[in-house]
Chain A
Amino acid sequence: EAGVAQSPRYKIIEKRQSVAFWCNPISGHATLYWYQQILGQGPKLLIQFQNNGVVDDSQLPKDRFSAERLKGVDSTLKIQPAKLEDSAVYLCASSPRGVSYEQYFGPGTRLTVT
């Protein structure tokens, strides 16, 4: 079974630029999560989708971050405009319907904002 795929793996941008990350969850997984992991910290949930609907986006900075999951499969996370403090690893995870206590993580996208 293929795991969670993310791209790009690394991205360097200047502040005030825009960036987008892509995630393809494990086939058949209904729930998709985006986490932000700042260096030296544990991951923090940004947004959770159930199929293509948002379940929790309470910690998403909505003035600059947006996410969508069209057709309930792939998802994109966008930052516009980026700030220095957005430098982090952005992790995507997915879990099967009815087994939400098992989350499978992708390798992450490391974003550096200069």
Chain B
Amino acid sequence: GEDVEQSLFLSVREGDSSVINCTYTDSSSTYLYWYKQEPGAGLQLLTYIFSNMDMKQDQRLTVLLNKKDKHLSLRIADTQTGDSAIYFCAESMGAAGNKLTFGGGTRVLVKP
């Protein structure tokens, strides 16, 4: 079955790096995603990674995928107060249908 787990909360100082972790159970997942949700807003796609990749970097964001351990992480370099939000990890099969299965979200609080 599908299950995506995340830690609930992360507190980080402005300027430090943040690392948000996620584990998933479905070994046939094709795509893995990170979404950001600010209060009262919808979900914003931050980045995604194909399952045949180990790492993807996009400006301040680095995604690491350990397929053997079914572990995904998002590192945010030089964390800013505007990065305070809830971050969701999600997986999909990538084929027709492409249902996203989300984790419960990690609330990130950036302290000045």
Contact = CB atoms under 8 A, between A and B. Distances in A.
Interface of A: 4, 31, 33, 35, 40-45, 48, 50, 55-56, 91, 93, 95, 100-108
Interface residues of B, number: 26
A10 to B, nearest CB: 10
Contact of A42 (B31, B97, B99, B105): B105
A105 B42 contact: yes
Nearest to B107: A40
Contacts, number: 62
A91 B37 CA distance: 12
Interface string B93-110: 010111111111100000
A35 B88 CA distance: 14
Contacts of B43: 43, 91, 93, 105
Contact of A4 (B42, B88, B98): B42
A40 B104 CA distance: 7
Contacts of B100: 33, 35, 43, 45, 103
Contacts of A105: 35, 42-45
B98 A42 contact: no
Contacts of A95: 98
A42 B4 contact: yes
6 contacts: A35-B100, A43-B43, A48-B99, A93-B43, A101-B92, A106-B42
Given A42-B104, A42-B105, A104 B45 contact: yes
B45 A42 contact: no
A103 B98 CA distance: 9
B88 A91 contact: no
Nearest to B105: A42
B90 interface: yes
Contacts of B105: 40-42
A102 B100 CA distance: 10
A110 B92 CA distance: 25
Contact of B42 (A31, A41, A91): A91
